[in-house]
Every structure is written in C-alpha cells, then in structure tokens.
Amino acid sequence: MIKWNDLVSSIKNQPTWNALIQALHTTYGVPRRSLIQLITRLSPHYCQGSPPTFNERKRLLKAISWLQQGHPIDYLLGEIVFYNRSFYIQRGVLLPRVETEWLVDLACQFIRQYPIDTVIELGAGSGVIGLSLALENPHIQVAAWDISQRAIALTKQNHSRHPCSNFQCLLGSFFHPQTGYEQVCTPNTLIVSNPPYIPTHDLPHLSDSVQQLDPKQALDGKQDGLFFYKKLMAIANRHQLPLLCEIGFNQGDAIRHLATSIPFMLDIKPDLAGHDRFAILIPKNSNLT
C-alpha cells in the first residue's frame, strides 16, 4: 500500500491535488483519467491547486490501494458508462465489460433488419443490456430475468435512472414454465444473453478481482461452460426464434458444433483482439431465413 510520506517525497513542491495526480500517474502508473474521476468523488470541493485535507488523504490512499490490487475503479465510483449512459453498479452484481456494448450494437442492428417486437434476456445483471436495448428501440418490448435479488434490485434502480415504459425486469428463472420467458414470448421475439460461460473447473483460475467481486452464479457455465447455450438454443429451436449471445473467447468451435447439430444458421463475430466473441443463431426453418 502507498504511504503518504512516500508519496509526498516524490513531490518537490506543496502536495496539491494537481501534484498528487502527477505523482500517482508517473511514479505508480495510475491512469490520470481514473485519478481525476476518483478525486472528484473523494473531494466535493476538489480544486487542482489546493491541498487535500487529512480525511481526503486517507480516502485517497485507501482507494489507490484498491486500484493497485487490480480492482476496477468503477466500483469506487459506483457507476459505469455503458452505451453512452451512466448506470449504477455494485459488488455482487456482474460488472459490465466494454465488449458487451458490441452485443447491444449487434442486437440493435438485428432489430432494424428484422421485424422484432420483443426482446427477452437471460441474466439481467445490472440491467445495462436490456435497458440499453429498450431505450434505443422504443417500439419494442424488453423483458429481462435474473435469479439474483441483488441484481434485480440494481436493475430497478437503473430503470428509475433511465425511465422507459417498454422495459420490465423479473426475479426468477428465465426457464420457469409459469413465470419465465414464455409469458412474454411472441413469434417475433429475439433472445439476447451474456450468460455464464466459464467452465466450473476454470473458476479458481480467474483473477482475484473477478473472484472477489463478481458473483459466481453469473460466471459459472457448469462443467463445459456450454450449459446455458444449450438451453437457450433448445428454446430458440423449439419456438423458431433468433438468438444472440456473447460467448467465451475459446468457445467458437463448440458453438459451431452445437449450431450444426440442431441446426442453425450461424454467424460468429470477433472482438477487437480477433477472438470469437458473439454468436448470432437463426433456426434454419425460421421465417427470418
């Protein structure tokens, strides 16, 4: 953990906020933008030319220690920008990743291309996917399920922050025959999900930050990581509905095999690193083909 005297010793002049930002950035490698975001939260009267108070110093050092452990700054800020909107986040609910914005992009493109009137989502999380789709496409209905009370409570907070009448979140199993997806499903429904896809045996090898902060039930894709894809693909096949999913970087071949056996028309899109990341599946007998 950074100590105050060590930090001040790297500053020649008075330890103003501006000097602290520069020292933390150059000496300890903390991103400047992250520091400014953080400091504006720690110090309501923040001014780059003024020194921090004693309590502000303590909060700053504690926050920097958090960042040095590899934890995301977003949890300290209590919110994240996703698809150009700010959403509340909290520990114990899956932190939205940048690449998931592409899932929303692909879904919006699909909605524009086909006569979709309803989107159903497995795994609401903080609500960023479902709410973004509802806000970007006010002519459709969006329903999102999660088995976590904490996730649904957070989604409701974000819904209050971004009110829209075409979105609902439901506590319970997406697959439940009385309260699940079949209650809102129409012939023109798109299934969207970033499901748990980490094989159970790989969970202990995830970073300490992910293991400590993200809920296991949002990560655990069971034995082979494909449990939820198989269930979603079975539903998509049964009702002849298109399915759009985020997938693990090494799951492309497995998804291709599953799509061939059902069968689906499949398009897999890469992320910026060139890894398989998104799967668009349309049943071959669907009216969309």
Highest mean pLDDT out of 46-50, 53-57, 252-256 = 252-256
DSSP state of 26: H
For residue 1, what pLDDT is reported? Answer: 58
- Structure confidence at residue 163 (pLDDT): 98
Partnered with residue 276 across adjacent β-strands are 270
Chain mean pLDDT for the chain: 90
Which residue, 210, 46, 45, is CA-closest to 35?
46
3-state secondary structure of 246: strand
Identify the weakest region by mean pLDDT among 15-19, 151-155, 261-265: 15-19
Provide the whole-model pTM: 0.87
Answer yes or no: is pLDDT of 289 > 80: no
Checking if the pLDDT of 156 tops 70, the result is yes
Q: Are 129 and 104 in contact (CB under 8 A)?
A: yes
Question: b/e map of 274-286 (b: 16 or more CB within 10 Å)?
Answer: eebbbbbbbbeeb
Average pLDDT over every residue of 163-182: 96
pLDDT of residue 218: 96
Beta bridge partners of 85: 82
Burial state string for 194-210 with b = 16 or more CB within 10 A and e = fewer than 16: bbbbbbbeeeeeeeeeb
Whether 142 contacts 186, CB under 8 Å: no
User: In the predicted model, is pLDDT for residue 225 greater than 70?
Assistant: yes
- State the virtual CA torsion across 98, 171, 244, 270 in degrees, nearest 10: 20
CATH 3.40.50.150 fits 82-283, yes or no: yes
- The residue ranges of every structural domain in the chain are 4-68, 82-283
Among 72, 40, 47, 42, smallest CA distance to 57 is for 42
Buried b (16+ CB within 10 A) or exposed e, 89-108: bbeebbbbeebbbbbbebbe
Per-residue confidence band for 167, with pLDDT thresholds at 50, 70 and 90 = very high
pLDDT score for 49:
67
Q: In this structure, what DSSP letter does residue 94 have? A: P
Structural tokens at position 241: 């509905």
pLDDT value of residue 219 = 96
pLDDT of residue 79 exceeding 70: yes
Burial of 11 (0-12, 13-18, 19+ CB in 10 A): middle
Q: How far apart are CA 278 and CA 251, in angstroms?
A: 10
| pLDDT tens digits, one per residue of 85-109 | 999 999 999 999 999 999 999 999 9
Mean pLDDT along residues 13-18: 72
Calpha distance 63→76 (Å, rounded): 7
State mean pLDDT over 154-160: 98
The residue among 44 and 240 whose pLDDT is bigger is: 240
pLDDT band at 46 (very low <50, low <70, confident <90, very high): low
Is residue 15's pLDDT more than 80?
Answer: no
Tens-place pLDDT, residues 136-146: 999 999 999 99
